[in-house]
Amino acid sequence: MVLQPSERHYRDWNDRRLGPWCSPTGSPAPLSCETGCGEGSWILVCRLLVPTQVSLLSMEEDIDTRKINNSFLRDHSYATEADIISTVEFNHTGELLATGDKGGRVVIFQREQESKNQIHRRGEYNVYSTFQSHEPEFDYLKSLEIEEKINKIRWLPQQNAAYFLLSTNDKTVKLWKVSERDKRPEGYNLKDEEGRLRDPATITTLRVPVLRPMDLMVEATPRRVFANAHTYHINSISVNSDYETYMSADDLRINLWNFEITNQSFNIVDIKPANMEELTEVITAAEFHPHHCNTFVYSSSKGTIRLCDMRASALCDRHTKFFEEPEDPSNRSFFSEIISSISDVKFSHSGRYIMTRDYLTVKVWDLNMENRPIETYQVHDYLRSKLCSLYENDCIFDKFECVWNGSDSVIMTGSYNNFFRMFDRNTKRDVTLEASRENSKPRAILKPRKVCVGGKRRKDEISVDSLDFSKKILHTAWHPSENIIAVAATNNLYIFQDKVN
């Protein structure tokens, strides 16, 4: 069925403070960051910056800039709002890493191939391709500006020499093909060398076109544009395991698309009430099961997770399983509804567990147990005393993401002051690391960081009052098979590798 937005009344529900509070079941025992999580021995492989518009023009003129790494290191003060990285995603092999920014651009980095002379540089990534994915638009019917910001990027498994990825802003999803070309045809009969049509009367001989070698060129071409199906802002896209369909989720609806059909989609979830004044929750994230094409999960601003089975009914408003943690009235506060909202949900690679991220914690749920999570990790519990100031500067509405490592044994998520946290599920140890420009020397070993809440502060600790809330790690990615991580900090992209890797 063709979806045409019919609602003339638009609201941005991202900042609504809805839903009851769900308290954690208690944090794990005090953990040490001296061991576990790769023994805490992560080293900086390289630091990259998202190119500016000026850099994009120079890249088109200079072919060799694709292999330049440190040329993108520039003063942070030159970064504009459009340069801020808004999403990071490895492809299925980990050889490519895509970033999207608020300027609507997609930058793809390619992993450096290992050589006999540079064995230790295997983990470095260099610019592979850069293209403008989305442009700013204006909806004249609703007098609404549509930002070009890239909300999500999702890779498709590679089937041939080309690469395919999905990118989306608030309204439109695009399918891009990224391919290489190192030969060009020459010797056309009807065209001259500059591509202009020749006079047929001057053509006296028949030539066979031949392919001539040329400098390697990486081309990004849009193959599909999926538009006009979302009234509210798209917050998630997820590729199905059948690789024929994908879903896109906004605040109130989830649509199922076929990759070959752009003018119609199927609405599988619709929580929009008849009266918008009765709205109590919104959809915050959604993802397909990694192995079962009929199963998907979506989270809400109430801190709940719903598992749906598309075999049960065409419209999955009735969930198959409902995951919610019991409320602890003793810990309820004015900010409870806000901090309980789930900002990210991820299936484990095995498909057995679900990981969710709210403002203060990361929780791991077993698909066979709906009443409470099996694991709860405190990301920055020291911020509970700062919720009032975080509410005033709107930081309390920040949407942090979370990721699994390749074996589902370690989880990672971001925090403030450019800190990011790793939790080892087997050893129950954690570590806090920092993506800092001051420690951006290649092969530099990251030192674990600690935050001091009160009392005397040790030399290697930082006071909670000294944290910089303008520096935040919202977007991270983990290599699918190796201990290589990508961390986005403003317009900086840090790539770290486990020292023992």
pLDDT attached to residue 332: 81
C-beta neighbour count of 329 within 10 angstroms: 8
| Predicted pLDDT at 30 | 32
Q: Determine the average pLDDT of the residues in 289-310.
A: 96
Return the higher-pLDDT residue of 231 and 457: 231
CATH of domain 48-55+80-178+226-498: 2.130.10.10
Tokens (6 digits) for 407: 């074996």
172 or 58, higher pLDDT: 172
- Of the pLDDT bands very low, low, confident and very high (cuts 50, 70, 90), residue 417 is very high
CA-nearest of 329, 389, 328, 325 to 358 is: 325
Statement: the pTM of the whole predicted model exceeds 0.95: no
**pLDDT above 70 (res 453):** yes
Percent of the chain with pLDDT over 90: 63
Q: Render pLDDT for 323-366 as a digit per residue (tens, 0 to 9).
A: 999 878 877 888 999 999 999 999 999 999 999 999 999 999 99
pLDDT over 80 (residue 23): no
Largest CA distance in the chain: 92
Poorest-pLDDT segment among 344-358, 453-467, 486-500: 453-467
- What integer pLDDT is reported at residue 418 of this predicted model? 94
| Residue 127: pLDDT band with limits 50, 70, 90 | very high
User: Would you state the pLDDT for residue 345?
Assistant: 98
What is the Cα–Cα distance from 340 to 387, expressed in whole angstroms? 13
Give the E-state strand segments of 187-244 in sequence order: 210-226, 236-239
Confidence class of residue 118 from pLDDT cuts 50, 70 and 90?
A: low
| pLDDT reported for residue 39 | 47
Predicted confidence at residue 62, as pLDDT, reads 40
Mean pLDDT taken over the chain: 83
Q: Mean pLDDT, to the nearest integer, of 77-96?
A: 88
Report which of residues 117 and 300 the model is more confident about. Answer: 300
Pairing of strands 450-452, 461-463: parallel
DSSP code at position 197: B
456 confidence band (pLDDT: 50, 70, 90): confident
> Comparing C-alpha atoms, which of 45, 83, 48 is closest to residue 68?
48
Planar angle of CA 137, 141, 144, nearest 5 degrees: 45
Is 90 exceeded by the pLDDT of residue 381?
A: yes
Beta-sheet pairing, 492-498 with 305-309: unpaired
Q: Which of 142-146, 273-277, 496-500 has the highest mean pLDDT?
A: 273-277
**Percent of the chain with pLDDT strictly greater than 70:** 83
Over residues 39-53, mean pLDDT? 70
Domain ranges across the chain: 48-55+80-178+226-498
Q: According to the model, what pLDDT value does residue 14 have?
A: 38
Q: Which residue has the higher pLDDT, 202 or 58?
A: 202
Asked whether the predicted pLDDT for residue 441 surpasses 50, the reply is: yes
Mean pLDDT, range 148-153, rounded to an integer = 97
Instruction: Name the pLDDT band for 247 (thresholds 50, 70, 90).
Output: very high
Binned at pLDDT 50, 70 and 90, residue 121 comes out as low
CA–CA separation, 364 and 362 (whole Å): 7
Q: Predicted confidence band at 123 (pLDDT cuts at 50, 70, 90)?
A: low
Question: Tokens 């509804």 label which residue?
Answer: 337
